[in-house]
Homo-oligomer: A and B are copies of this chain.
């Protein structure tokens, strides 16, 4: 029989190769409706394979209705199989050339070189060993009870927050949490007030869910709550009160109180995104807004910065009235978190390994922050001001009189410097043109010093 080429080295069994070749001939019309197939004896001789191999291929074709077989009569091609070939597929592979990066000032990156890999491996191993058979099955949309209990203890130790494990819902990180929260609040067409500037990724997450985002200006003390008086009633207000992203301020106590009064008065929710406040260099982590009103605040926490980004475990603390709906939405969105990370993280928290890791990293990041501040002071002759350096893995530098835009960013990239103007994270453009964001957590002091020198040289060239 023409056109059947068998590859005897292939991992694909011969019966399947025969089946596929015949099927292809039928769908592209080489073998036509009603045409008889050769007998299994003929074809096996032709192809030099066992007759049973051909029979198996034919049985597959019969089972799927490609050919019809009736006692005694030869096997014939079924009706209506031919489909026209379409033009070849074009490749969609998009490859962007990336310049060699000499100074990587991107934000939100913990130093993975300092992650206690060996301890973590041991923890994963132990967790996998101790897993029960039931835990391999569907174990629930709310998340592993042991993990939720450990998070209660961790929130108490690290932030003095007193919550009930029943109010904690495990997520796959903060983005996933916001995606579900947008759905929870009604999605399509619902209004969300957002701090401006804010993290572009979080803005996108709300916009993709069809929310109408209303920007609310933030300054170095966080969201300007006085403006809430004139704001339309919204479904929710998104804030980062412990370390405003990207400007870095702590929302002041009186603004906290007005925000909560606004939420109560308009019966809306406050979405509190606490993305990196465990790394605080001046005093203790700030107390979450959540503790001031558990009925109006949705607290969003993540372990992406304190453990590692590819862990994909975060959590929300939800007001009671939203809990049943959340579970339904989660079940029909992605069912639940995988079990392995949940079990390992529960053990990591329970044995206080995370506490120790964070304590160590706070020291490490603190030294880097100092190296960065020293470098800036030492390198720049022109006027500059630093904001938001009291916590987290990044800070903001203002250079009065300069203007950083997309062009500047591109030119910097070409010079090997990956740095983001604050303007990039602005909803209303134009207010923060003179500020740059510097992520430093993942860089050692020497990398920081070299990076700042490079940046300085590039700015001299660019602005003349």
Q: A residues touching B (Cβ–Cβ < 8 Å)?
A: 11-12, 15-17, 19-20, 23, 26-27, 56, 59-61, 63-66, 78-84, 86, 89-94, 109, 112-113, 115, 117, 120-121, 124-125, 128-129, 131, 133-139, 153, 156-157, 160, 166, 172-173, 175-176, 179, 183, 187-188, 201, 204-205, 208, 210, 221, 250, 252-258, 260-261, 264, 282-284, 286-287, 291-295, 308-313, 320-321, 323-324, 329, 331-341, 344, 390
User: Given the complex, which residues of B lie within 8 Å of A341, measured CB to CB?
Assistant: 338, 340
Q: Which of B17, B139, B252 is in CB contact (< 8 Å) with A65?
A: B252
With A89-B295, A292-B27, A310-B135 known as contacts, the answer to whether A81 contacts B253 (CB < 8 A) is: yes
A464 to B90, CA, bound (A): 64
Chain B residue nearest to A183 in the complex (CB): B208
User: Given the complex, which residues of B lie within 8 Å of A294, measured CB to CB?
Assistant: 89
A335 to B86, CA, bound (A): 34
A306 to B42, CA, bound (A): 38
With A90-B320, A332-B175 known as contacts, the answer to whether A308 contacts B136 (CB < 8 A) is: yes
Q: Which of B160, B175, B331 is in CB contact (< 8 Å) with A334?
A: B175
Q: Which of B176, B201, B309, B320 is in CB contact (< 8 Å) with A89?
A: B320
Can you give 29 contacting A-B residue pairs, CB < 8 Å? A16-B284, A27-B257, A27-B292, A63-B250, A63-B282, A63-B283, A64-B286, A78-B254, A79-B254, A80-B258, A81-B253, A83-B293, A86-B293, A86-B295, A91-B166, A92-B166, A112-B136, A120-B128, A125-B128, A135-B310, A136-B309, A205-B333, A208-B329, A208-B332, A310-B336, A310-B339, A312-B335, A338-B340, A340-B344
Min CB distance A274 to B, Å, is 14
> Most chain-B Cβ atoms within 10 A of its Cβ — which of A66, A86, A335?
A335
User: Given the complex, which residues of B lie within 8 Å of A12, measured CB to CB?
Assistant: 156-157, 160
- The answer to whether A121 and B112 touch across the interface, beta carbons within 8 angstroms, is no
Q: Which of B78, B283, B309 is in CB contact (< 8 Å) with A137?
A: B309
Chain B residue nearest to A26 in the complex (CB): B253
User: Given the complex, which residues of B lie within 8 Å of A336, measured CB to CB?
Assistant: 310, 312
Min CB distance A177 to B, Å, is 9
- The answer to whether A137 and B334 touch across the interface, beta carbons within 8 angstroms, is no
Tallying the copies of this chain within the complex gives 2
A208 to B183, CA, bound (A): 9
Min CB distance A333 to B, Å, is 5
User: Given the complex, which residues of B lie within 8 Å of A11, measured CB to CB?
Assistant: 153, 156-157
User: Given the complex, which residues of B lie within 8 Å of A166, measured CB to CB?
Assistant: 91-93
User: Given the complex, which residues of B lie within 8 Å of A390, measured CB to CB?
Assistant: 63
User: Given the complex, which residues of B lie within 8 Å of A258, measured CB to CB?
Assistant: 80
User: Given the complex, which residues of B lie within 8 Å of A204, measured CB to CB?
Assistant: 332
> Most chain-B Cβ atoms within 10 A of its Cβ — which of A79, A109, A133, A323?
A133
- The answer to whether A310 and B175 touch across the interface, beta carbons within 8 angstroms, is no
- The answer to whether A188 and B160 touch across the interface, beta carbons within 8 angstroms, is no
Closest 9 CB pairs of A and B: A65-B252, A176-B334, A310-B339, A92-B320, A136-B308, A312-B338, A65-B253, A80-B254, A66-B253
Chain B residue nearest to A131 in the complex (CB): B117
A308 to B255, CA, bound (A): 48
Min CB distance A20 to B, Å, is 6
- The answer to whether B79 and A338 touch across the interface, beta carbons within 8 angstroms, is no
Min CB distance A78 to B, Å, is 6
- The answer to whether A124 and B128 touch across the interface, beta carbons within 8 angstroms, is yes
20 extra A-B contacts, CB within 8 A, seeds A64-B286, A187-B210: A11-B157, A12-B160, A59-B283, A60-B284, A65-B250, A65-B255, A81-B253, A89-B320, A112-B136, A124-B128, A136-B309, A172-B172, A172-B338, A175-B334, A179-B333, A208-B332, A310-B336, A338-B340, A338-B341, A340-B341
Min CB distance A179 to B, Å, is 5
User: Given the complex, which residues of B lie within 8 Å of A124, measured CB to CB?
Assistant: 124-125, 128, 340
- The answer to whether A210 and B183 touch across the interface, beta carbons within 8 angstroms, is no
A160 to B11, CA, bound (A): 9
User: Given the complex, which residues of B lie within 8 Å of A210, measured CB to CB?
Assistant: 187-188
Chain B residue nearest to A84 in the complex (CB): B264
A38 to B115, CA, bound (A): 44
